[in-house]
Each structure stands twice: as structure tokens, then as C-alpha cells.
Amino acid sequence: MAIQNRDSFLSNLAANLGRPQRRESVSRPEYSVQPQHEVFKDYSAEELIGVLKEHCKVIHTDFVRTDKSDLQATLKRVLDGYEAASIIASNDKRNQEYGLDKAYEEFSKEVDVHIWDASLGKENQVIAERTDVGISFSDITLAESGTVALMTNKDNGRSISLMPKCYVAIIPKETIVPRMTQAAGKIHQDNEKGIAPPSSVCFVTGPSNSADIEMNLIVGVHGPVKVTYIVVD
Amino acid sequence: MSIKISEAPYKERIGKGIDNDFMRQAVSSAQGRFRNGRLTQAEELGNWEDWRQLGEEIRSHTLENIDYYLYQLSEEVEKRGGNVFFAETAEEANTYIENVVKKKNAKKVVKTKSMVTEEIGLNKTLEEIGAEVVESDLGEWILQLDEDPPSHIVTPALHKNRQQIKNTFQDKKGYDKSDTPEELASFAREQLRQDFLTADVGITGCNFAIAESGSVTLVTNEGNAEMVTSLPDTQISVMGMERLVPTWEDMEVLVSLLTRAAVGQKLTSYITTITGTRLEEEIDGPDDYHLVIVDNGRSKILGTEFQSALHCIRCAACINVCPVYRHVGGHAYNSIYPGPIGAVLTPLLDGYEDHKELPYASSLCAACTEACPVKIPLHEQLIRHREIIVEEEKKSPASEKIMMKGFAQWASNPAAYKLSTKVARSALKPWTKEEYVENGPGPLKGWTDVRDFPAPGKQSFRSWWNKRQKGGEA
């Protein structure tokens, strides 16, 4: 029984609302205001990168900009800065396009490299837990809040951005949009077209943090303690 | 725990709050920071009133059609391999969850912060069947170790200082480091990491369920919700039935309002949106997923003049501006939902009988209404509560009834009135200090416990008037 108690529950709600139960023909009204579409409207790609870079300061995140040809060297510097002895990365199709497959091969001469491998099952989580740095691509990047939207799939586990102490997001320049409005809009439109959302869409904004002890900001609680964004032209 | 957090009477709870200097200082400074954060964000957007308007329209439309959207939500969750249980009462919700946990033979359950699971008393139910329940939000974990209820819906351990937290960690977990927040948090990270990895079941709350795709959105900063939804193979999300939006587009607007109004952030570190079970060949995420939709008194509010109270998105902006909360703190409300929204919601969910003082825990200054990101007319609803209590329920607080009754008798008898205004000054002399009554007797006590009362004048207005008429000195 996948759905239980629904009929009595919903008919009670309809009764309290003083009308018959609604099962169809409800559509969202045209809302009287839509301020979300005004934010950074007409900003150029360069201006949005400027917004993202600026906001990284607020969210305790290092911002680096490079191009495809220099990505390997840039990533190496970031990993050295984190004194990484081990890395875990998604098995992303874009690895090849961005030369990361070769980079990881090169890095593996000095550090432990694990590329997410669905056939290994839970072993991936065990590896992620003891690894220093996780690396994956941002699918949609929100300039306003400095957020990377991570859509997980069998080659890109949630653990990569979550379990290691440090996380590096590779941000293709064309993934940058003004704010969450555009990301949610895309997922909504896909859903209307019959493309259901991934099992997890995680909007990650910098390192984990907490203000639960005397309202002091503590950076790095359960998720990563340090985060770098690498924007790639 | 249920919605009520103690059996102590209202005045005693208030007294405790007012005497707790650290708590009052902490609340006052937290309020200031939260409020500034919200105002800065609102100013930056420039058209905050439009955002509030949009938020209100989304919430109104959703609640007006809640049966339609809950139906759609449950259909979509099922399509994604999940189970949905509609629970009319707390008991039904607890029993269902208990059965899932039993069936899995689960020893350890790890949780994200969730007000609705506090409300239904879920932890107690699970502990009674022998499961270890671990709260993974740092504030909730501190309170769980110390067996203390939350005092704020966003920062639940606001009333505790670092020394107290250090002592709790020492006593309960053998902690041996300093009381700096960083070291305390790093200890929690180590301890809880093991719990995440070994838990059989993960339980989350729900900030917004998205009807169109059967998704559940969790708004957090610590990363614990990611852990709870990624690692255990069984996951249960528990939602108050009104924590619902039609689409991703609506979710996005409300999340933008929530994070700004709650903590002054553009987005929190994690907005986690999960849909059903993990897909084929995926490793993280549950293979058994349950969504429990809880009524527990909410449906009684539908179709009434209080319906908009169900629009609440639990940001605590009203709490953060409330001058009464500032002085008495969260525990004085005797509800897991404190502050103005708590004073509105608690009597609706749990009846007036135990909570008739709450609508009076307000100065009706309307700061709450102005702060609310979805425009709930909180102070007007508090006034309505008072009217209902006085007119219909005849349950106004006993002290008020006695005072009012006494006042009526006394004021309607000219001789008694004249006499008492004459003797009031000397009668109150033992309690008077520098023209203020500080610790008054009888009916005055309720007032002077929390503030001073000016000492009665040397002469009454009537005798002053009479003298003046006769040409004497005024």
C-alpha cells in the first residue's frame, strides 16, 4: 500500500473549506507581481561573474577564474593549497571536454584519485568519507547567492560534495544564471515536458556552517569546511 | 515532547525567563542581528513589498486548494517509488513511523531539525521501542543531550551559553576541550559523523513539499540534512500538511523569502531537494522512502478567519521583532512554537484551555505583522483570540476576571471608590519606594512582578478638584 488514508483525509479538508474535493482543473493564478524576474535582469555574462565573485567573499568561498587550457594547473594549485593527499571526483561526461580525465591521471601519480564508480556500490561512500577533497561540476550556478546546483546521478554521487573536508566546484561559465529563479524555472519546465527531476538537486552555497552556539558563525560543521569555485571560460 | 513543553503555570514561566539574565541578553542580541539581516536583505532587493505580496499570493492559492495539491503530491511521490501516509493525528503519524522503524529492525535513527516531529513527540515514541534517536542539527543535538526543549524555531539552543554547552558535552559525551564554539562544533562533527554512517533510518522534516514532482525541500546550513538524506537506506520525511507549494517556481520564491527573513542570507548553505527513492545504479539516497503528511489539528483552522496562520513558513521573523519575546524568552510560551506566531497557532492547534494566556503575551505593537514575509496579520489574529476567549469561551485569565469584577463593584459604589482613592497612598506605603510600587500586594502583584507601578498621588483627582474649586492650592 503505497498511499494510505488519503480519501478521508482530503475529504475532511474539502469539507472544512466548504466545497467539494478538488482533484483536477486547478491552475496557478497569474500572480499580481513577479519581482523574482527583475533581479540582475539584462546583466551580461561578465557582470554576472562579477556578482558571483563578490558574493564568494560573503560565503567564505575562494573564487578562481581560468580557462580550459589552464584548468589542470589551476586545479593543481587549489589541491596543493588544501594539502590534498586524496581526491574523489564525479565520473562526469564533461571530464573529457575539460581535460579533467587527463588531469586526474596525472594527479594520480602523487595523490590517491577515486573517480565515482557506480559498480562499486557503497564503497564509494566509504572512500568519500576518508578523502580530503571532492570535485564535481556545477550544473547551474546562481550568481546572486553564490550557489552551485548539483544534480546527482549514478556517476555523480551526493557524497562527493558532502563528505570530504574540502570541496571544489568546477563552474563552466555558461552555467551561470542570475539567481535561483532560472534554475527552478528550468526544472519546472522540464517537469512539464515529462523530464522528472533527479533524485537529488542540491543547491550548495559555500562551506557548511552554523550559528547555533551563542550566535557565533562557525564555518565547517557536517559538510565541507573549505570550498573553492573555479569558473572556467 | 508535544506542543506543550511544561506543566508550570504561565506566571512562573515568565518569571523564570525574566530572571535569566544570560538568556535575555542572548535573545536581545540575536533579535538585533536577525532583524538587521532581514532588513539589509530587504533593502538590497529594493522591492521587498512586491516579494511579500507574491509570497502571500502563493500561500493563499496553495491553502485554498490544499486538497488538490496534496493529492498531486502523493501521486507524484508514489510514481517515484515512495510511500505516502496521511496522518490525521499525532498518534497515527507516530504509529506509522514506529512500524517502519520496527519493520527495518532499526537500531539507530538520525534526524534533521523538524518542528513537526517535536510537535507530535516522535522521539519519545521511537525511544520507547528501543531505537536510538540522534538529532543531528547542532542546536537540537545540544538540547537533546541536555533534555531541554527548543526556545526558538530557527536557533533552538539560543538560551544556552558556551559554558553550559561545554559542560553538557563533558557530562554526556566525555568532551575534554575548550568552550570555543569552533572546538565544540568540531567535536559535534566527529561524533555525529559516526552516527550518520551507522544509522539505519533517516528522518527529516520538510520546509516545502513540491506537488508537481513529489519533491521535498530542506533548508539548512550545517549539511546534516544532506547526510540524513544521502546515507541511510530508509528515509522518512514528516511534513505538516500545509508545508506545500504547487511548483518548483513557487518553492524558489518562498525559499528566497524564508532565508532572507529568517537569517538574512540570500540562500542558506544547503537547499536540499529530494525526490523519492534513489534511482537505478545510484548509491546515495534511500531505497525505501516514506512521506508522512500530518494534520494534527491544522484542518480545523481551514475555512476559518485564522486560515492565513497556515501560511506561515517558519522563518521566525515575527519572533525576532517581538518585544515580549525579547523579555520572556521562548520557554515562557510553553509551546514549541513561541513568539507571535506561536501565540496565534498554539491555541488553534492545542485548544484555548492550556494556552489562554498566550494571546495576551503581546503588546499588539504590530511589529510581527510588519515583519512577516507572507503578510500574516498576526496582531489582528491575536486580538481575535482575545475576543473569542473573553466573549465566547469565558476563559480570560483568572487574575483579569477577578480584577475586572472587583473593579466593577468598587467603581460602581461612590463611597467605596472615594474612600479607597483616599487611602491608597498610605495603604501601599509599605511597598512604595521613591514614588514607585515595586512589589505590590494582591491584585497588583501580577503587574508589579514585571514592572513598577507609580505610587498613588498625595491627593486624589477628586479632592484636588474640590480644593481648586474652593480656590485652594492645586
Closest CA to B383 of B400, B366, B397, B398: B366
Looking at the domain that runs over B10-299, which CATH code has it been given?
3.40.50.10420
CB < 8 Å & 24+ apart, contacts of B180-183: B181/A213, B181/A214, B181/A216, B181/A218, B182/A218
Please tell me if residue B65 touches chain A, with a CB cutoff of 8 Å.
yes
d(CA A107, CA A79): 10
Residue of A6, A196, A202 with shortest CB distance to B270 = A202
Residue B393 has pLDDT above 70, yes or no: no
State whether B54 and A34 contact (CB < 8 Å): yes
Q: Enumerate residues 6+ apart whose C-beta is below 8 A from B93.
A: B85, B87, B120, B122, B238, B292, B294, B296
The shortest CB-CB distance from B67 to any of A14, A55, A187 is to A14
Q: Do A3 and B84 touch (CB under 8 A)?
A: yes
Minimal C-alpha gap between A137 and chain B (Å): 16
Number of Cβ pairs < 8 A linking chain A and chain B: 296
Radius of gyration for the alpha carbons in chain A, expressed in angstroms and rounded: 21
Instruction: Collect all residues of chain B within an 8 Å Cβ-Cβ radius of residue A8.
Output: 86, 88
Q: Tell me, what's the pLDDT at B23?
A: 85
Which has more confidence, A116 or B398? A116
**pLDDT of res. B346:** 95
Can you count the helices (H) and strands (E) in chain B?
21, 13
DSSP B341-402: HHHHHHHHHH-STTTTTGGGS-----HHHHH-TT---HHHHHHHHHHIIIIII----HHHHH
With a CB cutoff of 8 Å and minimum separation 6, the contacts of B130 are none
Q: Three-state SS for B319?
A: helix
Q: What is the mean pLDDT of chain A?
A: 96
* pLDDT tier, B443 (very low <50, low <70, confident <90, very high otherwise): low
Measure the CA–CA gap between B365 and B369, rounded to whole angstroms: 9
Encode pLDDT of B313-350 as tens digits: 999 999 999 999 999 988 999 999 999 999 999 999 99
Whether residue A213 and residue B157 make contact (CB cut-off 8 A), yes or no, is: yes
Nearest-by-CA chain A residue for B53? A33
A35 to chain B nearest CA, in Å?
Answer: 6
Mind listing the domains of chain A with CATH numbers? 43-232 (3.40.50.10420)
State which H helix or E strand residue B15 sits in.
Answer: helix B10-19
Cβ-Cβ contacts under 8 Å for B318 (sequence gap 6 or more): B339, B340, B341, B367, B368, B369, B371, B372, B378
- The answer to the question of whether B368 is labelled as a binding residue is yes
Whole-number pLDDT of residue B440: 61
Please, which residues have CB within 8 angstroms of residue A192's CB and are 6 or more apart in sequence? B212
Max mean pLDDT among B139-148, B198-207, B445-454 falls in B198-207
Report whether pLDDT(A219) > 60: yes
Q: Average pLDDT, stretch B365-388?
A: 96
CB pair distance less than 8 Å for A197 and B227 = no
Helices (DSSP H) in B129-247: which residue ranges?
A: 138-146, 162-173, 181-198, 224-230
pLDDT of residue B22: 84
pLDDT per position as a tens digit, A37-51 = 999 999 999 999 999
pLDDT tier at B79, thresholds 50, 70, 90: very high
The pLDDT value recorded for residue B423 is: 62
Whether residues A124 and B283 touch (CB distance < 8 A) is answered with: yes
Mean pLDDT within B144-149 = 91
Using DSSP's 3-state secondary structure scheme, residue A33 falls into coil
Q: What predicted TM-score, i.e. pTM, was given to this entire model?
A: 0.88
CA distances from A71 to A76, A78, A99, A133, A172 (A): 8, 11, 8, 16, 11
pLDDT at res. B424: 67
Question: For position B11, what pLDDT does the model report?
Answer: 86
Could you state, in order of their start, the residue ranges of all structural domains in chain B?
10-299, 398-469
Average pLDDT value for residue range A54-60: 96
Nearest partner of B459 among B430, B434, B422, judged by Cα: B422
Judged by CB atoms closer than 8 Å, whether chains meet at A196 and B80 is answered as: yes
Higher pLDDT, B426 or B274: B274
H/E element, B123:
helix B122-128
Whether residue B206 is annotated as binding a ligand: the answer is no
The pLDDT of residue B421 is 64
pLDDT of amino acid B441: 60
Tell me what pLDDT residue B460 has: 75
| Highest-scoring range by mean pLDDT, A207-216, B60-69, B462-471 | B60-69
Nearest CA to B132 out of B115, B110, B154 is that of B110
Q: Is the pLDDT of residue B435 over 80?
A: no
Least confident of B6-15, B59-68, B106-115, B119-128: B6-15
Q: Does B296 touch chain A (CB under 8 A)?
A: no
Cα separation, B261 vs B207, in Å, equals 14
> Cβ B58–A31 below 8 Å, yes or no?
yes
- Residue B315 annotated as lining a ligand binding site: yes
Q: What is the pLDDT of residue B439?
A: 64
Q: In what order do the strands lie in the sheet with A200-204?
A: A176-177, A140-142, A147-151, A200-204, B270-275, B215-220, B208-210, B244-245
